[in-house]
Amino acid sequence: MELPLVVGVDGSESSLVAVDWAADEATRLGLPLRLVYASLWERYEGAVVRSSAEERLSGRIMAGRILGVAEERARRRDPEPKVSVEVVAEEAAEALLREGNNASALVTGSRGRGELQGLLLGSVGLAVASRAHCPVYVVRGDKAGLAGKHERILLGAGDPVAGAEAVRFAFREAEARQCPLDIVRAWGCPAHETTDHPRPADEPERFHRERASTLLDVLLHDAMAEHPGVRVRPDTVEGPAHKVLLRRSAAADLVIVGARRRRGHFGLQLGRVSHTLLHHAPCPVAVVPQRV
């Protein structure tokens, strides 16, 4: 049995947009959809904890209504995926991280209903994307990116070891969407290599460009053989990776990046590239962990 896509629902407009997007994604991937409401969401976001029996009952009623609206919305969006719902008596981030142990992927909105307006990415979404051991989609972006108008996805190619799972994930996505897969590896030439260097001025740049191209070939070799029908457009680009990918994501329906998950490390595990995209990308972002 296929593991479901699990969506965190809190009644915010952002989470309802995530439900819509996840319903489409579940149909593309042929997966069931599971909608989860964490009943302690208010406490996680800094609100007062309900204490009286009457208030707890009111909270359960509210949770049921929120899930009911989300379930109806998902079924109306696409009746094909099997949809299940559950209220979980945990704080939001912990609930979703636990759900991720039995999920194909987790889906969150970009900001919850308790978040400050100045935040670019909500605390729950950041915590889940930083710590989950399954892929995490953060649904954000402009209308074109959310609606899939660009008909292409983008992969930020990282280290051949730490980014292997992200590559496999990206090829599966491209195959399911029947769209091209743009793969970009950024490279840079450290300034000190060109200072008083006895070799021609363009040699350091050529070395780093060719090295990036070689690493990209190694990273993609197996996946391209396994998915011959996917149209792959690899590219190496000079510049900081977070800036290169942010710029390229404006023409994508989904941008995918890998993330290291070090065993025994319980803090936030995201690099600069992931942070930048999660806060600023004009399309949904998928963070795909790789245990190293």
What residues does 182 pair with on adjacent strands?
Answer: 154, 233
Identify the band that residue 60 occupies on the pLDDT scale cut at 50, 70 and 90.
Answer: confident
Tokens at residue 109, please? 């909105």
User: What proportion of the chain, given as a percentage, has pLDDT over 70?
Assistant: 82
Residue 95 and residue 88 in contact, taking contact as beta carbons nearer than 8 Å:
yes
pLDDT of residue 116: 44
- In this structure, what is the dihedral angle of CA atoms 205, 209, 210, 213, given to the nearest 10 degrees? 180
Half-sphere exposure of 116 (CA within 13 A, CB side): 4
Q: Which residue has the tokens 């994604």?
A: 25
20: Cα separation from own chain's centroid: 16
Identify the band that residue 270 occupies on the pLDDT scale cut at 50, 70 and 90.
Answer: confident
pLDDT tens digits, one per residue of 99-124 = 999 999 999 998 755 544 444 567 88
pLDDT tens digits, one per residue of 5-36 = 999 999 889 999 999 999 999 999 999 999 99
| Segment 149-178 mean pLDDT | 92
pLDDT of residue 53: 65
Backbone dihedral angles phi then psi of residue 115, each to the nearest 5 degrees: -80, 150
pLDDT of residue 202: 59
pLDDT above 80 for 84: yes
| Segment 67-92 mean pLDDT | 93
pLDDT of residue 75: 95
What is the amino acid identity at position 148?
Answer: G
| 185 CB neighbour count, 10 Å cutoff | 23
DSSP string, the chain: -PPPEEEE--SSHHHHHHHHHHHHHHHHHT--EEEEEETTHHHHTTPPPP-SHHHHHHHHHHHHHHHHHHHHHHHHH-SSS-EEEEEESS-HHHHHHHHGGG-SEEEEESS-TTS-TT-SS-HHHHHHHHH-SS-EEEE---HHHHHT-S--EEEE---TTTTHHHHHHHHHHHHHHT--EEEEEEE---GGGGTT-SS-TTHHHHHHHHHHHHHHHHHHHHHHHH-TTS-EEEEEEES-HHHHHHHHGGG-S-EEEEEEE-TT--S----HHHHHHHHH-SS-EEEEEEE-
DSSP string, 42-82: HHHTTPPPP-SHHHHHHHHHHHHHHHHHHHHHHHHH-SSS-
pLDDT of residue 167: 95
pLDDT above 70 for 74: yes
Q: Report CA Rg, the chain.
A: 21
Identify the band that residue 279 occupies on the pLDDT scale cut at 50, 70 and 90.
Answer: very high
User: What proportion of the chain, given as a percentage, has pLDDT over 90?
Assistant: 63
Dihedral sign from CA coordinates of 154, 159, 160, 165 = negative
The whole model's pTM is what? 0.87
pLDDT of residue 111: 74
- Mean pLDDT value across the chain: 86
Q: Please tell me the total number of residues recorded for the chain in this structure.
A: 292
255: Cα separation from own chain's centroid: 8
